[in-house]
Amino acid sequence: MTVKWGLIGASTIARQFMIDAIRSQPDGEVVAVMSSSAERAGAYARENEISRHYGDLDALLGSDVDAVYISTTNELHLEQTLAAAKAGKHVLCEKPLALTSTDARRMVEACHAAGVVMGTNHHLRNAGAHRAMREAIRDGRIGRPLAARVFHAVYLPEHLQGWRITRPEAGGGVVLDITVHDADTLRFVLGDDPTQIAAVTQSAGMAAGGLEDGVMTAMTFSSGLIAQTHDSFTVKHAGTGFEIHGTEGSLIARDVMTQKPVGSVVLRTPKGEEELSFDREDLYARSLRQFHAAIRGEDQPSATGEDGVWSLAIAEAALEAARTGRTITIDPKLEARA
């Protein structure tokens, strides 16, 4: 069965990665795009060879699409997901799921009640590098993980210097943009959840309107592991990385906090250094493949709606920690479901 996708949002991320990812599936088709401007919808549909376009959400949801990919600005994800669930459409939503974890939980509940699949587009779980690190930890290759460090300070490309640095009401700021990804990647790779977070933010000259464009966090995880993250929109030459240090060895990954299947992972132990090999599949194509499997009832999305609640709860706690100068307890308030 073909999965007919409708795009909610005439966005950059859909144009750069997600339309191709859908089209790379043997059973995936992009049939429509919806924008808040009918004119933009038309132009976007033409540019990307999408046969139908809508300037209205109800029209898209009233059509024969099976699933929607939501990549509008962050304040719109809540209402669009609730409406899609009500219309019986599967939902793959961009991160952050919403502006608050309370709203994100409503989205998860609505999709669950409607019996549709919900996923969060945390692409980094799909990177071969992160899956290789997760496997190495599970296989005990670094012993007991003690500490992790995420380096995700980058320079926001000029074409993305819009709502992210000017519109708090749209969910701008580096914490909702990047820290959510670190949070999800740490949870995925470590197989562990954070319990507490401290943070400091900065406005280094790019973001306006009281928004932060740099942040460092420090977290404690359930196992006792401690982790630090550094995210920025203003750092041009740092490069990205991810390290996990255990009792018996360390995993040192470079250039892996990225949208492309690139980078390296080195395992360092008393025996020396070993470069781990991993697959180089496109991250977004893999996310789509797993989402299609979830629609068929064979698997879960690579990041579920609940994972999106977790990453947002962590980001929310980071913002509160920075605002108050206190260490904040992280609680996604997710009820266990049979």
Shortest Cβ 160–ligand NDP spacing (Å): 5
Q: In the complex with ligand NDP, which residue's Cβ is closer, 95 or 292? A: 95
Q: In the complex with ligand NDP, which residue's Cβ is closer, 160 or 208? A: 160
Q: In the complex with ligand NDP, which residue's Cβ is closer, 65 or 252? A: 65
Q: In the complex with ligand NDP, which residue's Cβ is closer, 47 or 275? A: 47
Shortest Cβ 36–ligand NDP spacing (Å): 3
Shortest Cβ 129–ligand NDP spacing (Å): 15
Q: Judge contact between 291 and 141, C-beta under 8 A.
A: no
Amino acid at 138: R
- At 49, list the tokens: 């060879």
Let me know the angle formed at the C-alpha of 285 by 280 and 289, rounded to the nearest 5 degrees.
115
Shortest Cβ 293–ligand NDP spacing (Å): 19
Tell me how crowded residue 268 is: count the other CB atoms within 10 A of its CB.
15
Q: In the complex with ligand NDP, which residue's Cβ is closer, 95 or 286? A: 95
Give the Å distances, CA to CA, from 193 to 94, 151, 224, 329: 21, 19, 10, 12
User: Of 227, 222, 172, 223, whose CA–CA distance to 198 is shortest?
Assistant: 227
Q: Judge contact between 33 and 6, C-beta under 8 A.
A: yes
Which residue stretches of 62-179 are H helix? Answer: 77-86, 101-114, 128-138, 163-166, 174
Shortest Cβ 58–ligand NDP spacing (Å): 14
Shortest Cβ 68–ligand NDP spacing (Å): 12
Amino acid at 167: R
- At 210, list the tokens: 């009281």
Q: In the complex with ligand NDP, which residue's Cβ is closer, 77 or 221? A: 77
Binding positions for ligand NDP, rule: CB under 6 A: 9-13, 35-37, 40, 71-74, 94-95, 121, 123, 160, 162-163, 177, 259
